[in-house]
């Protein structure tokens, strides 16, 4: 009994040693508890799918349709990025995205973030390109208005060129260290319910032709800029989309950079987005 009594008296007697030990315990205990909780219940960020495309294509309408599960409603042009949390079910018997996206659907469930970005020319690069760098990004859905594509084909293709080139450089940058996960792209050809809409196959060929023209134009612009001969080769190759030196561009050239690109038609207004939802589900 004497030993415990002396220890208690020592602890309760004010001294420098007691204050130091007490301070260490007070400072270290919260850190140790935090480390224990962090290791026992690790937090992982949700995977994300990014909605891109020119203004008016239907990105925000698609986001609200997938969030609410009912008929799409008209939306205004978004000025800032917004995201919603959705659920993917492994229920292969579901016939529509409304069934597969329910929290009570059969099978296992996985959650992800659907991120909408502004499509306006002055806002897109500020938000979209930073989102592409996210480590949680699993896929990009590039939404186009098939009914008015002839009017803004150059703008839509230029935006898509920058997106694909960013992904291409992202994959290429990883070849010197750890190759990042490949980010695949779905070109969602929207508004096929309208009489003036181009079919998905024609949208694909028109985009490929326009991307080829943009590639040649940028290459020629570099040659005309007065850049030194020794520098032209590397700069031209860095800004060249797809197979370097090829005469025509095709989406198949992106496979060289582990980028799969699909062009699929649908209609947000009619709720005909099941093929898009299936594509998203396969990436989560």
Which CATH number fits the domain that encloses residue 57?
3.40.50.300
Mean pLDDT for the stretch of residues 80-84: 83
Q: Taking the model in full, what pTM does it have?
A: 0.76
Mean pLDDT for the stretch of residues 275-282: 94
Kindly tell me if the per-residue pLDDT of 193 is higher than 90. Answer: yes
Q: Are residues 25 and 133 in the same domain?
A: no
Mean pLDDT for the stretch of residues 175-197: 82
Q: Are residues 7 and 77 in the same domain?
A: no
Structural domain containing residue 249:
48-283
Mean pLDDT for the stretch of residues 221-247: 68
Q: Are residues 36 and 171 in the same domain?
A: no
Mean pLDDT for the stretch of residues 21-33: 64
In the sheet that 82-89 helps form, which strands lie side by side, from edge to edge? 82-89, 109-116, 48-52, 137-145, 184-190, 261-265
Query: Which pLDDT tens digit goes with each residue over 112-161?
Result: 999 998 766 566 666 677 788 788 899 999 999 999 999 999 999 999 99
Q: Are residues 220 and 91 in the same domain?
A: yes
* CA nearest to 61, candidates 75, 40, 46: 75
Mean pLDDT for the stretch of residues 81-105: 70
Q: Are residues 30 and 129 in the same domain?
A: no
Kindly tell me if the per-residue pLDDT of 284 is higher than 70. Answer: yes
Q: Are residues 35 and 75 in the same domain?
A: no
pLDDT on residue 190? 97
Q: Are residues 127 and 26 in the same domain?
A: no
Flag the least confident range among 74-78, 161-165, 227-231: 227-231
Flag the least confident range among 95-104, 112-121, 195-204, 274-283: 95-104
Share of the chain above pLDDT 70, in %: 63
pLDDT band of 35, cuts 50, 70, 90: low
12 versus 237: which is more confidently predicted?
A: 237
Q: How many domains does the chain contain in total?
A: 2
pLDDT on residue 174? 46
Q: Are residues 102 and 234 in the same domain?
A: yes
The chain-wide mean pLDDT, for the chain, equals 79
Kindly tell me if the per-residue pLDDT of 237 is higher than 80. Answer: no
pLDDT band of 229, cuts 50, 70, 90: very low
Helix 149-173 × helix 124-132 angle, to 10°: 40
pLDDT on residue 145? 96
Share of the chain above pLDDT 90, in %: 45
Q: Are residues 96 and 155 in the same domain?
A: yes
Flag the least confident range among 8-22, 55-69, 228-242, 260-274: 8-22
Q: If you average pLDDT over each of 73-77, 124-128, 280-284, which comes out highest?
A: 280-284
Q: Are residues 213 and 127 in the same domain?
A: yes
- Beta pairing partners, 264: 188
pLDDT band of 45, cuts 50, 70, 90: confident
Q: Are residues 139 and 16 in the same domain?
A: no
Q: Are residues 32 and 103 in the same domain?
A: no
pLDDT on residue 43? 42
- Token pair belonging to 56: 């008016």
């Amino acid at each position: 009994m004497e030993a415990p009594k002396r220890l208690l008296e020592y602890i309760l007697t004010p001294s420098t040693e007691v204050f130091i030990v007490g301070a260490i315990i007070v400072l270290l205990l919260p850190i140790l508890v935090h480390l224990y909780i962090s290791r026992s219940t690790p937090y992982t960020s949700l995977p994300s799918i990014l909605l891109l495309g020119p203004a008016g294509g239907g990105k925000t309408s698609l986001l609200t349709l997938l969030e609410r599960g009912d008929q799409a409603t008209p939306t205004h042009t978004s000025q800032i990025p917004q995201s919603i949390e959705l659920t993917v079910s492994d229920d292969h018997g579901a016939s529509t995205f409304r069934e597969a996206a329910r929290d009570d659907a059969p099978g296992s469930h996985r959650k992800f973030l659907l991120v909408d970005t502004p499509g306006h020319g002055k806002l897109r690069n500020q938000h979209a390109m930073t989102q592409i760098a996210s480590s949680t990004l699993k896929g990009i859905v590039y939404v186009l208005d098939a009914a008015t594509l002839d009017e803004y084909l150059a703008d839509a293709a230029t935006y898509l060129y920058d997106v694909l080139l960013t992904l291409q450089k992202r994959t290429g940058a990883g070849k010197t260290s750890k190759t990042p996960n490949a980010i695949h792209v779905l070109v969602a050809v929207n508004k096929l319910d309208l009489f003036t809409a181009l079919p998905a196959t024609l949208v694909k060929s028109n985009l490929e032709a326009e991307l080829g023209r943009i590639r040649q134009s940028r290459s020629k612009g570099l040659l005309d800029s007065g850049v030194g001969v020794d520098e032209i080769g590397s700069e031209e190759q860095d800004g060249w989309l797809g197979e370097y030196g090829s005469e025509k561009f095709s989406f198949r050239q992106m496979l060289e950079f582990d980028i799969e690109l699909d062009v699929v038609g649908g209609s947000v207004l009619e709720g005909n987005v099941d093929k898009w939802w299936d594509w998203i589900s396969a990436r989560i």
